[in-house]
Structures are given as structure tokens and as C-alpha cells.
Structure 1
Amino acid sequence: MTLSSEYMALFSLLRAGLWEREPDDLSPFPLTDDEWRDVYQMAVRQTVAGIAYRGLHHLPDVLLPGDDLMIRWVAQAERIEQKNKLMNSVINRLYQQMDHHGLHPVLLKGQGVATFYEYPLLRECGDIDLYFSTKEEMRKAAEIMSQAGCRLEGLPDGSDCYRWQGVEIEHHVRLLDFSNPWLKGCLSTLVAKYGFIDQPLTGNPSTESPVTVSVPSPLLNLLLLNAHLLKHIMGHGVGLRQFCDMARAYHRLQGCYSPEELEAVYKRTGLMKWSVQLHTFLTEHLGLHRAELPLMDMDACTSPELLHIVLEGGNFGQYGDTKGKVSQAKWERKLHTFLSFWKHRGFSNAYARKEAFWTSIKLIIGNLK
């Protein structure tokens, strides 16, 4: 797949912003005002405007966009920072609420992954995902938030979703999202073996005491992020932010886990072939050093189909043509989910055949209900 000069420029900015270094490819520059507007819109759609903004700091002055767009980009970066501060403040209060009732949830993805970045507040945030180790803990958490005035909605995967203090929050009782039922015992063993660690949440407002959150251990975190990427690629799609998260996680967690053990886990869970393609993308397009990866195997190049899925759909595929609208009827949203999986079945079967098979079975059963 041949990339346009705008996409080449975006990837160059992302590499510069991810690793805080001079751009390694200036061939797409200079850009016209229209081309710069396209790059900015691409960054916004992919929810990487903050990372690309950091890349602009390393671009020679003569190659920067015009003042009008720079003002828009600075304002967007400021909005991202303010939303992250709100998110961290909500997490702080949420953990205090849970701790008061004897609950200790695990923070998944999101703000926990943001700590892997040089500038955590410029990683665009989404919602808050909390994991509870038992259904009883999750039930108790639901009662607590209901009493706090929240209206909880049950999701098809058994999670609870609600809005609190302006932020979307989800409670999960499953840590690792695999469809293959034969992996259930293996995954439970992995969670028990590697467990969780405590880490401070960075970027809290200065008026609040910093909170320490529980997050998956390094190996579990990498497995979680990897499987999460694959799940969305097989479905509606996924954007560049999740690949940036994966790159920063490998970079920051190097030396904190056993590469041999992670390789064995990837093989056992059926993620090996997909992981080789994922690593190829991370090194080829996002500049991650091969030495920071747990595997040395690489594909010859990034799959054109993977590039198409990522660049077409944007953040979680919301700009693709198979994403269902929230306002649609339940059966229509189910149909759109199945159609998106069907659209990506070629890639899914090529790189994660077993998981793709069980995901299709799960979707078929879900559509019959």
C-alpha cells in the first residue's frame, strides 16, 4: 500500500513525538496549507493529535504549518491535557470511593498506559476501564455507583457501563478478552501467576493527593494490550493510538518481564503470527527498535490490509463504513458488528485463525439471541 505524502508526514511526526527525537523522514515536507489541514484531521481522527503535536516541536521551523493551523493544534493539545487532568481526578475520587467500601479494582489500559509516555497528558484519553476479580466484587461496585446516582447499563460481554462526573466508566469481570473457550483455564493461570502491581497515577491536579492504582503486571499488560488490538482489528477496526500505546509499552517495560515467557504465552494463546505482524508495523511505521521487542521474527513488511483497516476507520473504526450508530436499533448494531467482522475475515483468518473462528461463533450466537 503506497502512503500519501500526508500519511507519510503524520507517521514522521508520530515517530518524532513518540520518542522525542528529530524527525527521521523529511521527504514529505514541505506541505501546502491544504495538506497540513489533512494531516491535522488525520491526527484528530486517529486520536493522536497530542503525540503529533510533540512531533511538531522537533520539526524545523521552516517546515511547520501556518499560524492559523498551529493555533488550532495548540488549542487541541490544551483540550487533551485538560481532559486527562479531569480523567485522573475522577480516577482519584473513584478509587477513594471503592477503597472506602473495601474494593480494590485494577485499572486497565487508558490512564495506566499513559504513564508509559514522556508526556502522559498529551496521550488522548477515552473512558475508564476497571477490572474486578470476582462477580461479587463487581456486583458490590455496581451497588456503590448506583447509590451514587449512576444509571448502570449491562453490556453484551457482561460488563457494566455508566457515566460519573462527566466520564464514561466500565466495570469488567474478564481481564483478558479472548473468544476461544479452550483458553479459559490457561488465562486464569496466567492472571494468578503474574498478577498485578501498584503504580502512581501521573498528571493529577496539584490540588489533589496523588493516588496509587493497581495495574496488570508487565507481562499481563502486554498480553492485554496485544489481545485488545487484535479484537478491534477483527471487528470495527482500530486506530493509531492503540499502536502507539503498544510501542510505548514495549519500550517502557523492557527488562521488566521475561521475553521467553511472553513468547511462550503468545504461542499458547494463538497470538504468535499476529504478534509478528504487529511488531513489523511498530518498527516499520512507528520507529520502535527491534531490540525492545520480545521476538526477533519479523514479516517482510506490514500487511497492506492491516494498514487499510487502521487508516480507513480511525479511532476504533468509528469512521469506517461498518460502524453502527448508537441511535440504531439493537439488531442493527449487532448486524453492523457482524458485517465488520466479515469484512476483515481475510486478515483475521490469516493471522489469528483460532481466535477468528471462535469470535465468529460468538457473534453468530449473539445475533440469534
Structure 2
Amino acid sequence: MINDHNIQAFFALLRVGLWGNGNLDLLIDGTTDWQEVYRLATEQSVLGLVLAGLERSDVKPPRVLLLQWIRKVLMIEQRNKKMNAFVTNLIEKLRRNDIYAILVKGQGIAQCYEKTLWRSFGDVDLFLSDENYQKAKELLLPLGKITEPEEVAKKHFAMDIEGWAVELHGTLKSGLSSRVDKVLVRLQEDTFYDGQVRLWTNGQTQIFLLKAENDAFYVFTHILQHFYKEGVGLRQICDWCRLMWTYRDSLNYGLLKKRIRRAGLMSEWKAFYNLASRYLGMPDLGSQDSQARMSDQRSSVRLTGVESATSRHSSNKFGSAHDSIADFMVCDSRYDKKADRIMEFILKSGNMGHNRDMSHFSKYPYLIRKCVSMGRRIGDLINHARIFPLDSLRFFPRIMFNGIISAVKGE
């Protein structure tokens, strides 16, 4: 595990911010470099979570830095309120035109946090059926501007509407391998053909979200996309943790495990769960003893306005919500080294790879930029081969092929 004192102090505060409990006395003291802790929180887009941890700490940063920190988080809070209002207006506009969308990631997952408005915001991502994807493009195009070329094969369309980044997704495919994407296609069928969704009541508007176990699987594959292609941040992993914790009593663990195995991602899942447990304090949901120890905290979880719309669809043939086969939801010490290497990469690359030198985008022509990006991606895959040797080789051809196709098409 990483031994740097300031990094340990950062993780201690992050754990308390995530779960509302923990002992900070041993890790937060007069030697803490608060500027470094603030830098890490900013870099990983978890300023609000770490401030929530600071609320429970007797030791605080210098006053000037603390006030700056609070001001930044209040700005995040205000921006989230405006974003929620925008999402409501966007969903209602679509529905008035007989277009129905699923909100994925972002503001839907934010509802799984105790301080929902302190989660750093991102894009507005909408998942649509083929027909609704085309109709939504036509409806929204006059309302904003295209921010990047449409990826036709991936059914991905990005726009700026009223200053908000909006992305339309006609598929949730990962681009990692056909084996992973087959499971994601099944998830898509569950959503659109079987109506397996949950609801978030945003003001007076009910917004569709992916069903909890589908969401947990999708968010995890999205984490892997960024991990293998550019860099992943702690905010995404925190989202994954809070989602599973919030719905721990209703998750169909049997179905989730079956999908992880079918996708060939069990090694990655266990390594990231190990990381989440050791660094972020994620409880072992597969342990009955852990469930008993954490039961007194259930009242702290915010479920207001979020509910399952499809409990009738919980498929018994895959096991019940409390199935004892949830052994993949525990911290396995055999994955310690993998988890440590993943965390080293996360801290080095920053949230979504933002620590990396991106100056080539402004210096060089398009094809050279693509070559630089592909070279960096090859370097990452070589690095990740130390962690997941077989899957790095398995994903390499698809990732490189998609990169080449994108470069040729100018996407």
C-alpha cells in the first residue's frame, strides 16, 4: 500500500467522506501538507467528498485554504442544482416529442451519495434505443452545437446545449472485446425490451436510470474503458462503490456474478474491489459478518426519490438478492499487488488522464496527434500487462483497431 503520509491523509479523509465514519486521529496531524491533500482532491475530482471528511476532523487546513476549499465546493453544489434543473427540462422536452431516454452515470449516481450535491459533476449522458437515438439527434441539433464528430458505429453524439455537455448513446458497448460487448448488449435488451429500470424523482419529474445490477456492471466496464484507454479517476470508482452500497439489499448478486464471468472480467472486478476496500473503505458486501457490522449505518444512506421500478423482474434462476455466491464482493488479499499497481497508475495519470501532457493537441496536425495518442495507449497497455497480462493482450487488438478506424474517419 502507498506509504506517503499526505496520500494516506487524503485517503483517510476520502473514506470518511464516502461512508461517514472512520478514525482520522492517526493520519491527520500537524505534519500534513494540506496543499498536497487539496491538490490530490482537485486532481481526482473529489473535493466535496474530502471536505465532507474534513467536517468530521478536529484538525483543519489553514483558514485561507479551508475557505477556498469551501467556496469551490459551494460552487459545485450550485452547479449541480442548475444541472438537475437542466436535466429535468431536457427529459421533459424529449418526452413531449415521444422520445424516451435513460440517464446513465452522472446525476443519477449522485443520488447514491449522502451529500448528493457535493459530487463533482460531469456530462449529461443519455442512453436511447435506435429509434429514439435518431429522433433525439434531430430534435436537439437546432438547440445547441456539435462538440465533436459523431461516432456513427458507436452511436455516440456529443453536443453543447445551453453550456451543458450532452452526450447521446445508442449503445453501451465498451470497445474492449466482443465478449464484453455481448454482455452489454444483453443489458441493453433488459433495459429496452424488458423495462428493467429504476426511477429517480428529480423535482416533479421521474427520470429513468439503469436497474441497479445493470448499472453496477455498466459503470464497471466504463471504468475499465478509461483504465485501458486513457486513465481513470477516483471519482468514477467512488461512484461504483456508492452505487453498490446503496442497493446492497436489492442487488441480484447471482446475475451480476454471471455477467462478470461471461464478460471474462472477474480478475479485474476482484482487483478493483480490493482497491476500493483497502484504499476507499468499501465494505465486503459478500460477507454476512460485514453486513451485520455495517447494519447500524443503513439509516445514513440517502434513498430519497430513488426507487426500483422493476422488482418483479428479479430473476430467481440467477439467485436471490442475498445469494451466498456473492464471494466476488469481498477484499481478496491475493489481489493486493494488482490493486496497488492500479492505484499507482491512477495517482500518476490523474482523473481521466488529466495529468498527462496534452500539448501535442495544439502543436501538431491531426494525424500526428493521433499517432502520439496511440503511442501513449500502447505504453499504457504494456504497463497494464503487469497487472492483467491476459486481458491486456485480449483487449489490445480491438482498442488499436478502433483507434486506427477513428483516425482514418477523422473522428
The two structures have a TM-score, normalised by structure 1, of 0.89
Please, which of 120, 123, 133 is the counterpart of residue 119 of structure 2? 123
Deviation per CA, 1:170-210: give whole Å up to 9, x if none.
Answer: 111112424323555443233223554242245xxxxxx43
Please, which of 192, 199, 205 is the counterpart of residue 211 of structure 1? 205
Q: Tell me, which stretches of 5 or more residues in structure 1 are unaligned?
A: 203-208
Letter of the 1:343 partner, please give it.
G
Deviation per CA, 1:309-334: give whole Å up to 9, x if none.
Answer: 11112220111246864786432442
- Say if 1:211 and 1:74 are closer, same or farther in 2 by CA, change over 3 A: same
- Say if 1:90 and 1:289 are closer, same or farther in 2 by CA, change over 3 A: same
Cα RMSD (Å): 2.3
- Say if 1:142 and 1:329 are closer, same or farther in 2 by CA, change over 3 A: farther
Distance 2:212 2:265 in 1: 17
Deviation at 1:29, TM superposition (A): 2.3
For 1:301, the equivalent position in structure 2 comes to 336
For 1:14, the equivalent position in structure 2 comes to 14
For 1:83, the equivalent position in structure 2 comes to 79
Distance 1:37 1:145 in 2: 42
Please, which of 247, 257, 260 is the counterpart of residue 266 of structure 1? 260
Contact 2:127 2:169 in 1 (8 A): yes
Q: Secondary structure at the match of 2:166?
A: strand
Deviation per CA, 1:201-221: give whole Å up to 9, x if none.
Answer: 45xxxxxx4321111111110
Say whether residues 1:344 and 2:380 are aligned partners: yes
Deviation per CA, 1:1-53: give whole Å up to 9, x if none.
Answer: 633211111100010000011x33433321457x1011111101110000001
How many residues end up aligned between the 2 structures? 358
Distance 1:93 1:196 in 2: 24
Q: Secondary structure at the match of 1:86?
A: helix
- Worse-matched range after superposition: 190-199 or 237-246: 190-199
For 1:174, the equivalent position in structure 2 comes to 171
* Aligned pairs (5 A) from 1:320-359: 320-321=356-357, 325=361, 329-349=365-385, 350-351=387-388, 352-353=391-392, 354-359=394-399
Letter of the 2:263 partner, please give it.
T
- Worse-matched range after superposition: 315-324 or 91-100: 315-324
- Say if 1:126 and 1:247 are closer, same or farther in 2 by CA, change over 3 A: same
Deviation per CA, 1:267-293: give whole Å up to 9, x if none.
Answer: 111211100100000100000111258
Contact 1:17 1:53 in 2 (8 A): yes
Q: Tell me, which stretches of 5 or more residues in structure 2 are unaligned?
A: 288-325
For 1:141, the equivalent position in structure 2 comes to 136
Please, which of 283, 287, 306 is the counterpart of residue 281 of structure 2? 287
Distance 2:77 2:363 in 1: 30
Distance 2:179 2:46 in 1: 36
Q: Secondary structure at the match of 2:165?
A: strand
Contact 2:179 2:264 in 1 (8 A): no
Contact 2:17 2:51 in 1 (8 A): yes
Distance 1:36 1:17 in 2: 16
For 1:197, the equivalent position in structure 2 comes to 197
Distance 2:112 2:77 in 1: 16
For 2:46, the equivalent position in structure 1 comes to 48
Please, which of 391, 396, 403 is the counterpart of residue 363 of structure 1? 403
Contact 2:13 2:53 in 1 (8 A): yes
Distance 1:144 1:104 in 2: 12
Letter of the 2:349 partner, please give it.
G
Deviation at 1:149, TM superposition (A): 4.4
- Say if 1:328 and 1:124 are closer, same or farther in 2 by CA, change over 3 A: farther
Letter of the 1:301 partner, please give it.
D
Percent of matched pairs sharing the same residue: 24
- Worse-matched range after superposition: 312-321 or 176-185: 176-185
- Say if 1:119 and 1:229 are closer, same or farther in 2 by CA, change over 3 A: same
Say whether residues 1:244 and 2:238 are aligned partners: yes
For 1:164, the equivalent position in structure 2 comes to 161
For 1:206, the equivalent position in structure 2 comes to none
Q: Secondary structure at the match of 1:163?
A: strand
Deviation at 1:340, TM superposition (A): 3.0
Distance 1:7 1:131 in 2: 36
Contact 1:322 1:337 in 2 (8 A): no
Deviation at 1:73, TM superposition (A): 1.0
Contact 2:234 2:351 in 1 (8 A): yes
